[in-house]
Amino acid sequence: MPILLSSGFSDGPNRGGVSGTRVTGTLFGYRKGRVSLSIQETPKCLPSAVVELAMQTSVLQKELGSGMLRIALECENGGNNNNNGGSNGSSSNKMKLLDEPLWTMYCNGKKTGYGVKREATAEDLQVMELLKPVSMGAGVLPGNAETEGVEGELAYMRAFFERVVGSKDSETFYMLSPEGNNGPELTIFFVRV
């Protein structure tokens, strides 16, 4: 992953009462494994959402190297929440968008598989703990040699994202680059259709 220098951003009290417009997003995964996305209100708090993406870490690195990456995660309104054929979408409409369990994933317009929302594991929380002092950056962390082998490094990229809520059925996260840095563009769309 490209190395980004630490920015001058601080975690001052510039947030609104409801999940502010700026959040921390971390993409991480073993080099030969799938990428997970963690969304946090600040780099120092617990993840508000963890989604395992339908993308290998090596593919993510390659796509980011091209300079522009668009990830769209799409779920159905009413999806698996209504098995009784009742009113369309009533359960799903009450569910927060980022609490949806299953997403069809598209990367730069191509369907890549399914993203799955999951609870943060002990390993996820350990990664977030190690990255607490990092507000923006990319690199590798020592991985779990027992399960991933000698080359079991965990790659990560952490950045601030501007969160734009279009409606209860759409949210977009735009990666913010440090001022004057022409790094890769990354946008993540969550849409309920």
Which of 80-86's residues contact partners 24+ apart within 8 Å by CB, and which partners?
none
The confidence band for 13, taking pLDDT boundaries of 50, 70 and 90, is very low
Q: Which two tokens stand for residue 19?
A: 């999940």
Measured distance CA(175)–CA(185) in Å, rounded:
7
pLDDT at 181 over 60: yes
Q: Residue 146: count other Cβ atoms within 10 Å of its Cβ.
A: 7
112-124 pLDDT tens trace: 999 999 999 999 9
84-103 pLDDT tens trace: 444 444 444 579 999 999 99
46-79 pLDDT tens trace: 999 999 999 999 999 899 888 899 999 999 987 4
- Kindly report the backbone phi and psi dihedral angles of residue 97, in degrees, each rounded to the nearest multiple of 5, phi listed first: -55, -50
The model's pTM is 0.79
